[in-house]
Chain A
Amino acid sequence: MTRDLPTTEPQRFDGPVVVEGVSKKFCRQLKTSLSYGLRDICRDVLGLDRNGSTLRPGEFWSLENVSFRLEKGESMGLVGANGAGKTTLLRVLSGLFRPDTGSIRIRGRLAPLIALGAGFRPVLSGRENIYVNLSILGMPLQEIEARFKDIVEFSELEETIDAPLQTYSSGMAARLGFSCAIHTEPDILLIDEVLGVGDLRFRTKCYRRLAELRRRGTAFLLVSHSPAAILGSCDRCIYMARGKIAEIGETSHVIRRYEEDLRRIPTLTPGKTGTQAASKAVVVEGFKVHDIFFADADGNKLVSPVCGDPVTLRIRCSGSIDFPGVKATIIVREGFGDLQTVLTLSTGETPLNLRQGQNEIILGFPYLGLQSGFYTTKIALTASTLEHIAAIETFRFNVERNHRTQHSLFYQPCDWQVVSAVDAGESNHYAISGKGEHAT
């Protein structure tokens, strides 16, 4: 019985989503936008052509000529900067916006995990809200009743299900919303950054459930700012920029391109970074920060430090008097303040003694752990009186990629060894038979 039995189930998929040359235009001026809207409504109701392919004054393409296919059981990532058109694309796919050109064909039940818990009312109990939410997702009463137990069980809210929703924590409400959405047995799931649901354990459970759906043939379109999330779960990926598909294909290839573009955006010129920051750094009269820069082990200024290299961060400053016992705090943030990674470096127990005249504060990194990318830094110097003597709001720098790391959040220097009992003989001296260096 290893041969496939003839299936009685009807053919469920024929490329669940086919998008061909879809464009969508928007207008940023509200008044103009409303009058265009009124005109579009009138023309559409009367069955006249809306001239979708030409831009009217004040309009721009939010999506431009987007084409792709999503196959059965396929998981597609969608990345791009804010305003690149990701959300518009999801809304056009869900049928909320009409495309201005092109066509979209969808076979099967599409569930957007975009607005979790649509229609949730705080005064209603969790139980009533499940009914409301599922009826909004288009489910008849008998089906809701059939799934009710599973939903409550999955959300782990058995004890509070009859309490009003307003007594739930936001994490509990999100769990309920997620649980409802995935129990609609969708053929296609659109996921927009919603997996920050609940605690880590529940998140893991969500991912497991999504994987299970995928095995059963559900196709995914996953929007995320985090390349790591996409890399971990998508076969293919779309990179959108300014409403167009900039790159589509195998995920790691697309993500690499996306990351490269992300790094390119700020267009930093060497030297400008530090001095610009320093000019705004005067907090206390008689103390001045002149320059901030990265340097190699020999003290040579670096335009951009390389990930994994030994580097130093140097702060050149001068004081009209001695500043003993200075403490420094440096907050490093990835990107433009999306708060993805925050590293706080503090001098802690070893105060810096600055003398009258020129000083150079040197912060040494045996290995630069930051991954290639663009970083924004805040630097604060505090005197022993706890008074800020210098505060640098933004010091920006790029970190260059090195050959040792790929798809990693940070660079972890490490040694590899093998210790074999055979080599060591009877004595418990371990022999080192290999050594290498690798990134996480």
Chain B
Amino acid sequence: MTSNESQLPSTLPVAEVAYSPESAVHHPVVLIRRMVHESWRFRELVRRVVVRNLRAQYRQSLLGYLWAFIPSIATAVGFSLAKDAQVIRVGETPIPYLVYVMVGTVLWQTFIDALNGPVDALRDFKGILSHIYLPPEIVVLSQMGEVLVEFLIKLLLLVIVFVLYGVQPGVAVVFAPILLALLIIQATVIGLILAPLGTLYHDILKGIPVVIGFWFLLTPVVYPMPQAGGIFSFIVRTNPATHFLVAAREAMTGGVITNGWFLAGLGAASVIAFFLALIAFRVSIPFVVERAGE
């Protein structure tokens, strides 16, 4: 298909599109086929946006890509000092606490970046989406790619720290990429729902950082999974961010994953939710552009 396009652009298959007031979800097959087709057609844009944003992010800074590491290091050092001074008390961690927190914050940061992805993407592209037709899911895919690349940069830090502290990943590390992907997907689902609503009502955009600050405390990032029982433990276990984050950390640091079936189920649900959210996002963008475009 691509080679054809590039050689003989004049014999491109004629694309026919129809616009009507009828909801696109009535014809799911047509909709999904169009989404796939367009995502493929705009692949160059996805690649370009990822590269551009990664480059632009640290363009005006002296420390450059070090900024990918600094927040994790700061958090880890801060919590370690607090723990050593016995200001905070956390349960025993299987690996040195500093490393434990560092892995936790890198994963948490990735979760938050993925959650903010659709919101940021819509803010960046609102002007273009108001003037030129772009398949809206493209901007989300670009953001997901960017989050993934940023994680890989941060992984470099983790590898260095692992070597320094002698932390060895076990066999479970083979599940780490899947768990990480699910963590990103899960966060993106939330972002996909919040982004169009937040573009209409800025209350949502203002609320996100507030909620994230609170959410951090309810997720086992700087402390291990609490023992079952009690309200706090219940909240932590109900928190959707908990499971993939904890499992990914276990997988990366030589721990064991005990709740495999539960994670598989949650993973399947997240993937289904992702595609539904992507469709909902696509359907809602024309309304957002119409009411709150530029």
Do residues B10 and A97 form an inter-chain contact, with CB atoms below 8 A? no
Interface residues of A in 99-158 (CB under 8 A from B): 99-109, 112, 114-115, 118-119, 121, 131-132, 135-144, 146
Is A44's CB under 8 angstroms from B284's CB?
yes
Chain A: minimal CB distance from B40 (Å): 9
A275 interfacial contact with B, CB 8 Å: no
CB atoms of B287 and A40 under 8 A apart: yes
Contact yes or no, A98 B15, CB < 8 A: no
A92 within 8 A of B: yes
- Known contacts A44-B283, A96-B133; decide if A143 and B9 are in contact (CB<8 Å): yes
Q: Does B156 contact A (CB under 8 A)?
A: no
Question: CB within 8 Å of B: which of A67-99?
Answer: 92, 94-99
* CA A132 to CA B18, docked complex, whole Å: 27
The answer on a CB contact under 8 Å between A109 and B12 is yes
Among A16-68, those with CB < 8 Å from B are 26, 33-34, 36-38, 40-41, 43-48, 50, 52
The CA of A107 and the CA of B15, in the complex, are separated in Å by 6
B17/A106 in contact, CB under 8 A:
yes
CB < 8 Å neighbour of A44 from B5, B25, B292: B25
Report the Cα distance A261→B200, complex, angstroms.
38
**Inter-chain contacts of A140 with B (CB < 8 A):** 2, 5-6, 41, 43-44
Instruction: Tell me, rounded to whole Å, the shortest Cβ–Cβ distance linking A192 to chain B.
Output: 10
CB-CB under 8 A for A101 and B21, given A34-B201, A34-B292, A96-B286? yes
Alpha-carbon distance between A138 and B14 when the two chains are bound, in angstroms: 15
Known: A47-B23, A47-B26. A142 touches B48 (CB 8 A): no
Say whether, besides A98-B286, A103-B19, A118-B132, A131 and B292 are in contact (CB < 8 Å): no
A185 CB within 8 Å of chain B: yes
Provide the B19-33 mask, 1 if CB < 8 A to any CB of A, else 0: 111011110000000
Given contacts A44-B25, A114-B131, A143-B6, contact A96 B16 (CB under 8 A): no
List chain B residues, Cβ under 8 A from A94.
132-133
Query: Is the beta-carbon distance between B25 and A95 smaller than 8 angstroms?
Result: no
A219 to chain B, nearest CB (A): 13
- Docked Cα-Cα span, A335 to B244, in Å, equals 66
Whether B14 pairs with A97 at a CB distance below 8 angstroms is no
Query: In whole angstroms, how far apart are the Cα atoms of A96 and B17 in the complex?
Result: 13
> Which residues of chain B are within 8 angstroms of A38 by Cβ–Cβ distance?
197, 200-201
Interface size on A, residues (CB 8 A): 59
User: Do B15 and A37 touch across chains, with their CB atoms under 8 A apart?
Assistant: no
Q: Is B42 an interface residue, CB under 8 A from the partner?
A: yes
> In residues 248-279 of chain A, which contact B (Cβ within 8 Å)?
none
Cβ contacts under 8 Å, B6 to chain A = 140, 142-143, 146
- Count A-B pairs with CB separation below 8 Å: 156
Task: Say whether B16 contacts A45, CB under 8 Å.
Answer: no
Contacts A37-B291, A37-B292, A98-B286 hold; do A136 and B132 have CB atoms under 8 A apart? yes
Bound-complex Cα distance A92 to B18 (A): 11
Q: Is B45 an interface residue (CB 8 A)?
A: yes
Chain B residues near A141 (CB-CB < 8 A): 44, 47
Contact code string B278-292 (vs A, CB < 8 Å = 1, else 0):
011001101111111
Residues of B within 8 Å of A36, CB to CB, are: 291
Q: How far is the CB of A333 from chain B (nearest CB, A)?
A: 30
- Whether B291 pairs with A112 at a CB distance below 8 angstroms is no
Chain A hits for B280, CB < 8 A: 45
Chain A residue at minimum C-beta to C-beta distance from B277: A45
CA of A38 to CA of B219 in the docked complex: distance in angstroms?
A: 31
Partner of B25, one of A47, A106, A185: A47
Residue A438 is within 8 A (CB to CB) of chain B in the complex = no
Instruction: Take A47-B25, A52-B21 as given contacts and tell me if A142 and B132 are in contact as well, using a CB distance cutoff of 8 Å.
Output: no
Cα–Cα, bound, A41→B199 (Å): 12
Is B196 interfacial (CB-CB < 8 Å)?
yes
Q: Is B83 an interface residue when CB atoms closer than 8 A count as contact?
A: no
Q: Let me know if B128 is at the binding interface, CB within 8 A.
A: yes
15 pairs, CB–CB < 8 Å, chain A vs chain B = A34-B291, A34-B292, A36-B291, A38-B201, A41-B196, A41-B287, A45-B25, A45-B279, A45-B280, A45-B283, A96-B286, A132-B48, A140-B43, A144-B44, A187-B14
Known A102-B20, A140-B43; 5 more pairs at CB < 8 Å = A38-B200, A47-B26, A99-B19, A137-B132, A140-B2
